[in-house]
Amino acid sequence: MAGEIYKKPILFAIVSAVVILIGTIVTMFIPMLTPQMHPKLENLKPYTPLQLVGRDVYMSEGCHYCHTQTVRPLKTEVMRYGEYSKAGEFAYDHPFLWGSKRTGPDLARIGGKYPDAWHYGHFEDPQKFFADSNMPKYGWLKDYPIDPAEAEASVKALGFPYTKADIEALKGKNKLDALVAYMQVLGTAVAKKPAAAMPVSMGDKKNPLAGNATAIATGKKLYDANCASCHGADGKGGIGPSVVDNVWLYKEGDVSDGFIYIIIAEGTSPAREIEGRTAKGGMPPYSAMFDQDKIWSMTAYIRSIQNK
């Protein structure tokens, strides 16, 4: 009689366990034994001791409660953050840190997007970069030196390769150094595609909004919110180069409006040639973020503050 089970607690517990285990076995235990749950990209590398310490800091500070690390295969998401996340990118992640909430932006493709100096500055004072940001300050991590012995124990526990020199190199470094190193390796196993760029029709490379007062005002607003943190409120440079002098990509001499447009739209990947000048990298692309009018407006604004 089926009704007997409601009189026999041990039998009831066993039947409950079996019922609970069916879904568990099908969706969790069996997949675990198959290769589909253990993919690895060919050029994915285990974390170095410094990066791993940075990852520990990320976990310890609960960064994953506000930042995700997975770009969904959705059009606007790929435009905003970069190539969507692949299963094979996370083979060395114990545990995964995909997160569940984006109070701040996704970080899956943050590696290499900005120079180190940007990260140091931003961790120190996020509000200096984005006035309305609600991110806590993390400059205090500088006061916490890395413990090389613990770092070595960590890479050993995970079986990651390392050298004595890697461990030696940790001496004198602090937790902020480690966190920045971790930021810079995130998502780098997948090659960056300039594909995020919108099709750009440069025409005669003349700015259609040149000298337009409304456009300059719009450009100033956009510049203050997005560019000033690196290029300075006055345009005289900081983390990034000056935009008011007459040096463009390390070479003196004026450039076309189209040149400025391309740099804003597509950023500067290392060794890229633009109008006979060679980029070294550091500037992220903005074409997915701003339409042509906005980029031309910023160009007009930059022209308006240049030292003539």
CB of 122 to another protein, least distance (A): 13
CA atoms within 13 A of residue 67's CA, in its CB half-sphere? 20
Helix (H) or strand (E) holding 38: none
Taking the complex as a whole, the smallest distance from the CB of residue 291 to another protein amounts, in Å, to 4
Q: In which region does residue 219 sit, left (phi positive, over 0), alpha (psi from -120 to 50) or beta (all else)? A: alpha
Identity of the residue, 120 or 242, whose beta carbon is nearer to another protein in the bound complex: 120
- Opening angle at CA 89, ends 126 and 151, nearest 5: 65
Residue pair 120/174 in contact by the 8 Å Cβ criterion: no
Quick one: 41 or 247, whose CB is closer to another protein?
41
CB of 287 to another protein, least distance (A): 7
Q: What are the CA-CA distances from residue 253 to residues 250, 270, 277 (Å)?
A: 10, 21, 11
Q: What is the smallest separation between the CB atom of 120 and another protein, expressed in angstroms? A: 16
From the CB of 58, what's the least distance to another protein, in Å? 8
Q: Which is nearer to another protein, 125 or 236 (CB)?
A: 125
Q: Residue 288 carries which DSSP code?
A: T
* CA atoms of 181 and 176, how far apart (whole Å): 9
CB 117, min distance to another protein, A: 20
Instruction: Rank residues 150 and 275 by Cβ distance to another protein and give the closer one.
Output: 150
Q: Output the smallest distance, CB 219 to another protein, in A.
A: 15
Which helix (H) or strand (E) segment holds residue 273: the answer is strand 273-274
Q: Which is nearer to another protein, 79 or 247 (CB)?
A: 79
Per-position DSSP letters for 166-221, written without gaps between them: HHHTTTT-BHHHHHHHHHHHTTTTSPP-GGGSPP---TTS--TTTT-HHHHHHHHH
In angstroms, rounded to a whole number, what is the distance separating the alpha carbons of residues 16 and 150? 43
- 43 vs 278, which CB is nearer to another protein? 43
Closer by beta carbon to another protein, 23 or else 203: 23
